[in-house]
A and B are shown apart, each in its own frame.
Chain A
Amino acid sequence: MLNVSERVFEREAVKPRALALVNELVISRVILLIAMGAGAFLRIWQINAMGYNTDEAVYAGQAAAIARIAGLKEVFPIFRAHPLLFQFILSIVDRIYFSDLAGRLLAVIFGLATVLITYELGKTLYGRLPGALAAIFMALMPYHVIVSRQVLLDGPMTFFSTLTLLMLAKFSKTHRSVWLYAAGGSMGLTFLSKETSIVMLGSIFVFLALAPEIRTRLRDLILAMVVMVLVIAPFPISMILAGSSTTGRSYLIWQLFRRANHPWSFYFTIVPPAVGILLIIFAIAGLYFFRHEHSWREKLLLAWIIVPLVFFEIWPVKGYQYLLPIAPPLALLAGRTLGRWIQLARGKRFVSPVKTLFNQPAVYWLMTGAVVFSLSFTSWRQIQPETSSTLLAGTGGVPGGREVGVWIQEHVPLKAHFMTIGPSMANIVQFYGEHPAYGLAVSPNPIRRNPSYDPILNADLQIRNSELQYLVWDSFSADRSPFFAAKLMSYVDKYNGRAVHTETITVKDKAGNSVIKPVIIIYEVYP
């Protein structure tokens, strides 16, 4: 029993703490509001300034085929390599209003939803402020901004993956098995977004194995797996019912045996700047400085980062956007570090000026500001319309691609066939031009080619037979495949090719002068 004076003291002592909580609530909400606003701005700014890149064209084409859009359903097979959850959702949008903008806006919605889920996850794990800071980091992170502006499967996959993480966090926190079942359902949706996310299942098992404090009954685990399998089931069932059951298998075989497309150092050079160097530093710093606070929370987040990182590092095929699901846990770890520092700093003065400095909340707010600034500055730069005639897959639209397609639709006879240097431009020609296109670089050897693509078995003969009437040179493919670019141009020369359409961009030369450079040229050939 406390006496009166003690009670007064306690009230006075509690008052600033309560006030701090109120402040934290307000501050967190303000940060979240800024995150959503800035995130939306960065994702929508000039979103449709350029046409689709090759992957976007494929996924949007599949969606259009599901929606039975005339002109596209004929050139895009529904079943290719991946499951169709995102394409299925986009097809519903397409049935209402079909445009390339709609697909990208849907990707933005998934992107912003991921920011919200990140906040919710942060709040569940570490409280509102770390959650809000993680949300703003996600909202501004170039990696996530760039990918969630495009019609790619990785954005929705990251959303569902983060949702799974949230369900797991809730399960770990409450020990209620229903959250584990929900995690199974969410994991199923993650898989239905992109099948490579199955690697996250490894993350879950690694987490459960390394966190003995999270007691999981085998029955619950099995039930969660059943839920996941039930959710995944439409993928194989729809393929079997549609008679395309070999498509996925062929794709898997090809992926297993294809040659590496990037060096082993690819992710270490590409991903850190895209995620934010400062953010990574703070994420690691938190793991070190708060090591005494470590619990299942960090194990969960680290399992979500390390398992896919190791897997995709070993996997021969590397892609810019493949590691996107690790972005939310990284943002959370950084948010946790800065949030905790802000919460712990009392503003007290010490004899040591260093100690005094690092006890001021303002210092940590400044650090947070620095992360926010660096992320938003990089994102802002990267969302400006492309002015390069080379391209890294997954980083944005292709200059001139849409314009070339519009020209093809207006000027090229029906059933005319195109030959491009590689399949990337072929996809764009097919989506925007609504004409069949084939990549010269697609290998006739089935082991060496993506089974989604049809090879040109004898380009020379097909041109002579007037089966290929238009050849398309583009600087992006030429940069990647100089051999096939030269081969294509040899056909242009041999068959009296005449340039009938050219798309150009303005770039800076070495001296800094603006020069006009052709990026896509369409040739008519006359055998």
Chain B
Amino acid sequence: MIKRTLFTIFSVVVLASAQFLPVQAAPIRQGHQPATPIQHLVILMQENHTFDNYFGTYPGADGLPAGTKMPVDPNNPSAGYVTPWHLGNSTITDLSHSAPTFKDQYNNGKMDGFVSALNSRNQDGKQAMGYYDGTDIPYYWNLADNYVLFDQFFSSARDGSFGNHMYWVAAVPPIAPKGQKLNDVLADVPTIFDNLQAAGISWKFYVQNYNPTITYRDQTSSGSKASQVVWVPLLNFDRFIDDPTLSSHIVDLNQYFIDLNNGTLPAVSYIVPSGASEHPPSNLMSGQRFVKSIIQELMRSTSWDSSAFMLAYDDWGGWYDHVTPIQVDQFGYGPRVPVILVSPYAKSGYIDHTVLDFTSMLKFIEQNWNIAPLAGRDTNANNFISAFDFTKAPRLPNFLPLGRITVIPPKKDPTNVIYLGYGGALFLAVSFFSLANFRIQRTKKRGTQQVTK
């Protein structure tokens, strides 16, 4: 027992100190230099919102169609309908967002079970039809105004967080055949980080409030902190837990700021939140502050000119989205999620309609750094290269405010009034001086003439 305790303490100390050790990444192997000016890709995965929930009323985007209404009971039209409604400061709950819930909401492609699926799970189904707008998530709308908003970005799996996070790192679902443990299956599943490591390309997985002692091995005893194992899928892989050359890349988010400060931001950075995840019912403003701090520090770092930052949401969270997900295989796609690209090379105020999913992020990494694909999903995924404009010089960083930038109707331009008014005043005064002078000169002249006479 004592031995076990001592071993646990030793393990904790080793793991905890590992994150402060400099990552000994091998130099980038030949052939893996970035194909675009993007030398740093940073992806932040937030939680549980659909595109319509966040940008359903965003001008120009494929948002909530006019006349949208959701039956309370798809089998009984007389039960009434729920139309999309502005959530604002309404109290919300964590809507059910499991695979069975989505199945009911999807209703064989009819997409009419969003209310009933929740009602049948003893939740207020009306909430699913709620949406936010620029007054609720002003920072994100500001980002969309200035950078790129994707309106055809689907979650990879018709499932909750874990499945989608797995696609994000490995392009496969976390499926273990009966009788096998998931971690045993994952031992043979390559992730993007294995390939990056092999290619000598630097990477880090930044975790807000990271606790190295919480892995899949003791997930059940971690209580509310267990989300770390879901949101950091690498903590389900034995090699990423036990092998210091890999585990040392999973670090606390503080290291992100240190790396930016030191100019040592890796080529590929994944970030997951802790408290500020926007997972319902958490506060959206906290999430925006968190995202803003991450973007701003990137902007004022030396890495900005060669970076791309992506803000994404891992699953639909039970919210309504009007676009029927494309069926690419038995697991996906899931509903659309909001995704924003912020980069000095990102097009300005652009809405990208390319069909994408989380494996598109892998696709970009693979194509930018010339890495082999991991699985069928990422092989077939579209890249989001269309969101960049590499023909232009990198844009200057732009600290967008947390408040919505509204186009204030211009006050009457006072410039003309000032020029006319003050110019007129000068003219009037000078006229009086001239008049006075003229009259005096004339009088003098008359006086001289009279004297001469």
Q: Which A residues form the contact surface with B (CB < 8 A)?
A: 66, 68, 78-79, 84-85, 88, 91, 167, 170, 174, 176, 178-179, 181-182, 184-186, 188-189, 192, 227, 230-235, 237-238, 241-244, 412-417, 464-467, 469, 498, 524, 526-527
- The digit string for B189-221, where 1 denotes a CB below 8 A from any CB of A, is 000000000000000000000000000000000
- The digit string for B284-316, where 1 denotes a CB below 8 A from any CB of A, is 000001001100110110000000000000000
Top 10 closest pairs, chain A to chain B, by CB: A234-B421, A413-B397, A242-B414, A185-B429, A185-B432, A88-B422, A415-B399, A182-B436, A178-B436, A414-B398
> Which among B417, B424, B443 has the greatest number of chain A C-beta atoms within 10 A?
B417
B253 to chain A, nearest CB (A): 12
Docked Cα-Cα span, A85 to B400, in Å, equals 36
10 inter-chain pairs at a CB distance below 8 angstroms, sorted by A residue, are: A66-B418, A79-B414, A185-B433, A189-B429, A227-B432, A243-B412, A244-B414, A413-B296, A413-B398, A466-B296
Q: Which of B390-412 contact A (CB under 8 A)?
A: 396-402, 411-412
Docked-complex contact B428 and A230, CB < 8 angstroms: yes
Chain B residues with Cβ below 8 Å from A91 are 418
Instruction: State whether the Cβ of B415 lies closer than 8 Å to any Cβ in chain A.
Output: yes
Contacts known (A85-B425, A237-B421, A241-B417); A413 close to B399, Cβ less than 8 A: yes
Q: Residue B426 contacts which of A79, A189, A227 (CB distance < 8 angstroms)? A: A189
> Which among A68, A243, A416 has the greatest number of chain B C-beta atoms within 10 A?
A416
Q: Which of B110-169 contact A (CB under 8 A)?
A: none
Instruction: State whether the Cβ of B439 lies closer than 8 Å to any Cβ in chain A.
Output: yes
Chain A residues with Cβ below 8 Å from B421 are 233-235, 237-238
A285 to chain B, nearest CB (A): 34
Chain A residues with Cβ below 8 Å from B413 are 242
Chain B: interface residue total (CB-CB under 8 A): 42
Chain B residues with Cβ below 8 Å from A235 are 421
Chain A residues with Cβ below 8 Å from B435 are 178, 181-182
Residue of A at shortest CB range from B414? A242
Instruction: State whether the Cβ of B423 lies closer than 8 Å to any Cβ in chain A.
Output: yes
B400 to chain A, nearest CB (A): 6
Docked Cα-Cα span, A188 to B417, in Å, equals 18
Docked-complex contact B440 and A88, CB < 8 angstroms: no
Residue of A at shortest CB range from B433? A182
Docked-complex contact A231 and B429, CB < 8 angstroms: yes
Chain B residues with Cβ below 8 Å from A232 are 425
Residue of A at shortest CB range from B438? A178
Docked Cα-Cα span, A260 to B403, in Å, equals 37
Contacts known (A185-B428, A413-B397); A192 close to B422, Cβ less than 8 A: yes
A216 to chain B, nearest CB (A): 16
Instruction: State whether the Cβ of B354 lies closer than 8 Å to any Cβ in chain A.
Output: no
Docked Cα-Cα span, A243 to B432, in Å, equals 31
Docked-complex contact B412 and A186, CB < 8 angstroms: no
Q: Residue B436 contacts which of A176, A188, A237, A241 (CB distance < 8 angstroms)? A: A176
Contacts A170-B440, A179-B440, A189-B426 aside, 8 further interface pairs with beta carbons under 8 A come to: A85-B422, A176-B436, A176-B439, A234-B417, A244-B411, A413-B299, A416-B300, A524-B300
Residue of A at shortest CB range from B297? A526
Docked Cα-Cα span, A242 to B417, in Å, equals 8
B234 to chain A, nearest CB (A): 27
Chain A residues with Cβ below 8 Å from B428 are 185, 188, 227, 230-231
Residue of A at shortest CB range from B403? A467
Docked Cα-Cα span, A368 to B196, in Å, equals 85
Chain A residues with Cβ below 8 Å from B411 are 242-244
A contacts with B: majority SS:
helix
Chain A residues with Cβ below 8 Å from B424 are 234
Contacts known (A66-B415, A227-B428, A466-B292); A84 close to B436, Cβ less than 8 A: no
Docked-complex contact B396 and A414, CB < 8 angstroms: yes
Chain B residues with Cβ below 8 Å from A179 are 436, 440
Instruction: State whether the Cβ of B261 lies closer than 8 Å to any Cβ in chain A.
Output: yes
Residue of A at shortest CB range from B285? A465
Docked-complex contact B422 and A84, CB < 8 angstroms: yes
Q: Residue A466 contacts which of B261, B402, B422, B423 (CB distance < 8 angstroms)? A: B402
Residue of A at shortest CB range from B293? A466
Docked Cα-Cα span, A398 to B413, in Å, equals 32
Docked Cα-Cα span, A302 to B430, in Å, equals 27
Docked-complex contact A88 and B429, CB < 8 angstroms: no
Residue of B at shortest CB range from A186? B429
Docked-complex contact B436 and A88, CB < 8 angstroms: no
Q: Which of B242-257 contact A (CB under 8 A)?
A: 257
Chain A residues with Cβ below 8 Å from B429 are 182, 185-186, 188-189, 231
Docked-complex contact B436 and A238, CB < 8 angstroms: no
Docked Cα-Cα span, A139 to B177, in Å, equals 96
B265 to chain A, nearest CB (A): 15
> Which among B257, B411, B428, B429 has the greatest number of chain A C-beta atoms within 10 A?
B429
Docked-complex contact B419 and A88, CB < 8 angstroms: yes
A136 to chain B, nearest CB (A): 25
> Which among A181, A233, A413, A417 has the greatest number of chain B C-beta atoms within 10 A?
A413
Docked Cα-Cα span, A155 to B402, in Å, equals 43
Docked Cα-Cα span, A188 to B424, in Å, equals 12
Q: Residue A176 contacts which of B402, B425, B433, B440 (CB distance < 8 angstroms)? A: B440
Chain A residues with Cβ below 8 Å from B412 are 241-243
B252 to chain A, nearest CB (A): 14
B77 to chain A, nearest CB (A): 47
Docked-complex contact B422 and A241, CB < 8 angstroms: no
Q: Residue A526 contacts which of B257, B426, B433 (CB distance < 8 angstroms)? A: B257
Docked Cα-Cα span, A178 to B441, in Å, equals 12
Chain B residues with Cβ below 8 Å from A184 are 432
Docked Cα-Cα span, A381 to B418, in Å, equals 39
Docked Cα-Cα span, A527 to B254, in Å, equals 11
Docked Cα-Cα span, A68 to B419, in Å, equals 12
Docked Cα-Cα span, A123 to B401, in Å, equals 61
Chain A residues with Cβ below 8 Å from B397 are 413-414
B45 to chain A, nearest CB (A): 20
Docked Cα-Cα span, A466 to B397, in Å, equals 15
- The digit string for B248-291, where 1 denotes a CB below 8 A from any CB of A, is 00000000010001000000000000000000000000000100
Docked Cα-Cα span, A178 to B438, in Å, equals 10
Contacts known (A85-B425, A231-B429, A412-B300); A181 close to B418, Cβ less than 8 A: no
Docked-complex contact B414 and A466, CB < 8 angstroms: no
Residue of A at shortest CB range from B434? A182
Residue of A at shortest CB range from B412? A242
B223 to chain A, nearest CB (A): 28
Docked Cα-Cα span, A234 to B414, in Å, equals 11
Chain A residues with Cβ below 8 Å from B426 are 85, 189
Docked-complex contact A182 and B432, CB < 8 angstroms: yes
Docked-complex contact B414 and A416, CB < 8 angstroms: no
Residue of A at shortest CB range from B395? A414
Chain B residues with Cβ below 8 Å from A417 are 399
B394 to chain A, nearest CB (A): 12
Docked Cα-Cα span, A413 to B396, in Å, equals 6
Docked Cα-Cα span, A184 to B433, in Å, equals 10
Contacts known (A231-B428, A234-B421); A465 close to B289, Cβ less than 8 A: yes
B7 to chain A, nearest CB (A): 36
A161 to chain B, nearest CB (A): 13
Contacts known (A84-B422, A185-B433); A466 close to B289, Cβ less than 8 A: yes
